[in-house]
Structure 1
Amino acid sequence: MRRVVFLAPYVKHYRLPFFDLLHAVLQSDGIEMRVLYGHPNSLHEARKDNAVPPDSYGRPVKSYWIADRFVYQAAWREISEADLVITPAENKMLLNPMLIALRSAGVKRVAFWGKGDIQPARLSQPDRWLRHRLAATVDWWFAYTPQSAQNLRKNGVSCGITPVGNTIDTAELQRECDAICSACVQEARVGMDIRPGPVGIYCGNLSRNKHLDFLFAAARRIAQEIPEFTLLVVGNGPLRNQVELVAVHERFVHYVGPRIGREKALLLKMADVFLLPGAVGLAILDAFAAQLPLITTALPDHGPEISYLTPGKNGLITAHEEQAYASAVVSLLKARSRLVAMSQAARIGAEEHTMETMVRNFRRGILECLGLPVVDSKIESRRESLAKLQFVPNGRT
């Protein structure tokens, strides 16, 4: 039996449905899949959104963090038994240069998985040089989006590339949102002392690249135009104390901490728009699954998932200027028919980026990398058999 190993310094709760389904699908192909995971550094531990994969494919390994920035995983026994090692394309992975050396010696097949932004401006010159140097030295790339794949080709990567369509479990979040009735939303609003009126929501990591200061400044301008406006902030991260302080002093800001599952769906259901002026990543699919248009700004540090947004259709991209952003939000909230149309388009966006599609793409790339024939797999039926799996932070039930 062939064996595929994923290296993961930590596993986020939103990745478990992907690993669950891919494991089941590869098993039907006669391929054993393992996820070698360690413990997160202090930054990711503080987010409280980490999870433990099931024993059917998860294997805990010792991890050693250096200055909370670089990680070494003691996983050589598992790596030696693997036919293919799939590792994040990140400089923090100290095993990556060693894996490349094994690959160069013809000992191991190695694939990268990631954004494909091999020379991002936010990295130092040495970091950019190393990322660019390593990018073209693997057997295969699993790129987040088609745009990621195009970027890799432009930068000289000639190996096989599979655009996977990076996503979350949009179908599950849609089901959770659809199951919440209007009376439940109203009861929750009353319980949280949220007055009648439009609601904007931010749901994600509380970090600097999300431009939360900008968000609060723009929200003040929105509240001046629409006094009954409320901003819900959901999430955790290094700026939590700052967010809590803002919520104390600004009546229209409600901070609720991190939420997942039905609790998160209930908060999304309260909202009219998803506000994320900073770096857009997978949060765009939270918005779309909840039928919320996403409003962001023109910045160079968005993730490749920004390509899922079609300005004017399922969201907006404004200039990175507080008044321009606030004006766009106010205009949308006051134009009910336009808001409804964009909300419907957002829902369609979620249905275009499903977990089944991501797993199907990943499976095809793995089979092609291993030189195995690619035949159709009934991924949807596999998904149904996993429907009763439920995950919680830092564990499974």
Structure 2
Amino acid sequence: MSRLDSKGFIKMQGKAMAERNRMGSNVIGIVQPFVPNYRVGLFDAIDEQLAEHGYKLEVWHASPRGRVAARGNSAEGRWSVPVAQHRASFGRRNVTFRNIMGRARRSAAVVAGLASTNLETYLLALDPQVRLMLWGHGKNYTAGNNAIDGSIEAWLCKRSHHLFSYTESGKEHLVLRGNDPEKVTVVVNTTDTTRLVAAKALVSTTESKSIRERFGLGGRFVGLFVGAFDGPKELPFLFEAADKVFSENRDFVLLLAGAGPDSDLVEKMASARPYVRLVGRLDTEDLARISTVVDAVLMPGRIGLVAVDALALGIPVITTNYPYHAPEADYLSAGEDSLWTSFSVDSYAAGIDSLVKDRARLAALAAGALDRGREFSAEASAGRFVNGVLSGLTQ
């Protein structure tokens, strides 16, 4: 449905504007634990598109701490509103509370995370002055399902005016739990791929050659890991598999980009391997530059938004059927833009080695990734999000 010429959309927009006038506020608040730098482009686009309909975005967020802070990827934007965040632990369970109720009551709508561990969401759901919408995975991808959590989240969904999921499978799960499909918008999670692709287009042949020389890559096959240095990424698994690949093929190099709580372990393991290069954390421009020398993205553990970046850059992902991938793994199509193996070191090593030796197959996967990557942009995801907000304002 066209945002510009649909009669249905214009009618929905009119209802949303009337709702805004009734409530006396034009603020749409989004609640976040913190703002990762990859969210900036999306929030900028949401802010711009909300403004077209007379609304203003505010992102109410705290600052990361502990293992999350160690990733070094937090950011702020023109829509930032810092809030206090309190956390408590009960055994292995962490719960948080953010004091946002005053802001929520003065806003046209509040979009909170679909999670049972955010205590303020219960207050938002129970307050008749708050128009609550929920944003999340839709189902639990990254851990085992918990019946109590599922029941709580189902209750929260029933009390919300609109729901946002990252994927079609997330929406299907919500619908199966009794939610009206018209009440659920698939946003499609993304990074600022427009900026990323534009940055790559500016990288000269000379600059790309300089990167190869700097890291001693020559004409070898270059695999890139990019992400947090933490447990779910399965870095020891990656090193073990990469050892096997290198033992069979000396034309293999592994670049490691990132930071995190396991940085010391990663640096120790990398220093013992002549084929490994540490390249530090990569911002958008850095990733664009490095991508010009990369043949494949190697992610045996949890895949998240790296899937979107890889597709946008036209780089195949080599991964496994790791049981706790984030929902963005659904964006990859095995055999078309990515290579999937079983979650075993031997299988994964064999998968990498097969592409090291078969450049024609590698090129076909790269072409598939580039084609698929054109479907993702912060602007398109923001448009879906804003349309969902406008729909929720009329419910």
Cα distance, 1:279 vs. partner?
1.3
Change (3 A) 1:236 1:123: farther
1:156 aligns with 2:178: yes
**Deviation sequence 1:340-391 (CA, Å, 0-9, x none):** 121111111211121121011011101111129xxxxxxxxxxxxxxxxxxx
Change (3 A) 1:371 1:132: closer
Q: Which moved more, 1:308-317 or 1:172-181?
A: 172-181
* Amino acid corresponding to residue 206 of structure 1 in structure 2: F
| Contact persistence 1:209–1:279 (CA under 8 A) | yes
Normalised to the residue count of structure 1, the TM-score between the two structures is 0.87
**Deviation sequence 1:17-56 (CA, Å, 0-9, x none):** 11111111111101122111111121221111000122xx
Distance 1:87 1:109 in 2: 11
Residue identity (%):
27
Q: Secondary structure at the match of 1:289?
A: helix
Q: Which residue of 108, 115, 136 maps to 1:83?
A: 108
| Aligned-CA RMSD value | 1.9
Residue 386 of structure 1 is matched in structure 2 by none
Q: Which residue of 295, 298, 308 maps to 2:321?
A: 298
Structure 2: any 5+ residue segments left out of the alignment?
A: 1-24
| Contact persistence 1:144–1:164 (CA under 8 A) | yes
| Contact persistence 1:119–1:128 (CA under 8 A) | no
1:237 aligns with 2:260: yes
Residue 14 of structure 1 is matched in structure 2 by 38
| Contact persistence 1:41–1:65 (CA under 8 A) | no
1:314 aligns with 2:337: yes
1:62 aligns with 2:84: yes
Cα distance, 1:158 vs. partner?
3.3
| Contact persistence 2:296–2:315 (CA under 8 A) | yes
Residue 308 of structure 2 is matched in structure 1 by 285
Residue 39 of structure 1 is matched in structure 2 by 63
* Amino acid corresponding to residue 219 of structure 2 in structure 1: P
| Contact persistence 2:341–2:347 (CA under 8 A) | yes
Q: Secondary structure at the match of 1:299?
A: coil
Q: Which moved more, 1:184-193 or 1:107-116?
A: 184-193
**Deviation sequence 1:255-303 (CA, Å, 0-9, x none):** 2221102222222222100010111111101211221101111122112
Cα distance, 1:132 vs. partner?
4.3
Residue 328 of structure 1 is matched in structure 2 by 351
Structure 1: any 5+ residue segments left out of the alignment?
A: 373-397
Q: Secondary structure at the match of 2:138?
A: coil
| Contact persistence 1:149–1:161 (CA under 8 A) | yes
Distance 1:158 1:371 in 2: 15
Distance 1:2 1:272 in 2: 47
* Amino acid corresponding to residue 332 of structure 2 in structure 1: L
Distance 2:154 2:264 in 1: 37
Residue 224 of structure 2 is matched in structure 1 by 201
Cα distance, 1:121 vs. partner?
4.2
Distance 1:85 1:16 in 2: 19
* Amino acid corresponding to residue 222 of structure 2 in structure 1: V
Residue 142 of structure 1 is matched in structure 2 by 164
Q: Secondary structure at the match of 1:203?
A: strand
1:100 aligns with 2:125: yes
Q: Which residue of 277, 280, 285 maps to 1:262?
A: 285
| Contact persistence 2:101–2:124 (CA under 8 A) | no
Q: Which residue of 201, 209, 221 maps to 1:186?
A: 209
Cα distance, 1:181 vs. partner?
2.1
* Amino acid corresponding to residue 60 of structure 2 in structure 1: L
Q: Which residue of 387, 391, 395 maps to 1:364?
A: 387
* Amino acid corresponding to residue 93 of structure 1 in structure 2: N
